[in-house]
Amino acid sequence: MNSTPKLNFPPINLRATRDKGRVMVFDTIRRMYVVLTPEEWVRRHLVEFLISHCRAPQLSIVEEYPVNINSTPQRADVVVMGVDAKPLALVECKAPSVKIDASVFEQATRYNAVVKARYIILTNGMEHYCYELGDEGYTPLSAFPQLG
């Protein structure tokens, strides 16, 4: 795992193994081993951060949340459910090499037009952007929202 970059998140402990030459890490949310891709490296850090710093209860986090866009099945990387069992935050994770730009924002807002979460979070592990949806559209936040 030495090819993984240091991210702009606190360090985490991962359970890792090898399978057919691939590094696999344990996903505590889906309770299974998944291939350690650059995007998954970011997602594992993001999920731990949501639990430890944003107070999101682990059971409120859903990965690969299904989103139907024009009858085409898509998946949001992470959705945090609120106490009312409705989506509270939608997160789009990208690999550290992927720039967080307007196209990533547009992807997240397209998903959120269906999901209707209060917050959207965009991250590549190096840069993080958080927005709150209000009557006037999306307002940038200066920090991660509290989710629990």
pLDDT tens per residue, range 68-113:
998 899 999 999 999 999 999 999 999 999 999 999 999 999 999 9
Can you say whether residue 95 is alpha, beta or left, with left for phi > 0 and alpha for psi between -120 and 50 degrees?
A: beta
Dist. CA 111–CA 10, nearest whole Å: 28
- At residue 4, the pLDDT reads 84
Euclidean distance between CA atoms 91 and 39, whole angstroms:
12
Which residue ranges make up each domain of the chain? 16-141
pLDDT for 22: 93
User: What's the pTM value of the predicted model, to 2 decimals?
Assistant: 0.94
Q: Above 50 in pLDDT, residue 134? A: yes
Give residue for tokens 């030495």. 2
Residue 37, SS3 per DSSP: coil
Q: Of all residues in the chain, what percent carry a pLDDT higher than 70?
A: 98
* pLDDT for the residue 1: 47
Topology adopted by domain 16-141: tt1808, chain A (3.90.1570)
Confidence of residue 42 (pLDDT cuts 50, 70, 90): very high
Q: Which residue has the tokens 């945090």?
A: 80
Question: Is residue 61 a contact partner of residue 51, using CB atoms and an 8 Å limit?
Answer: yes
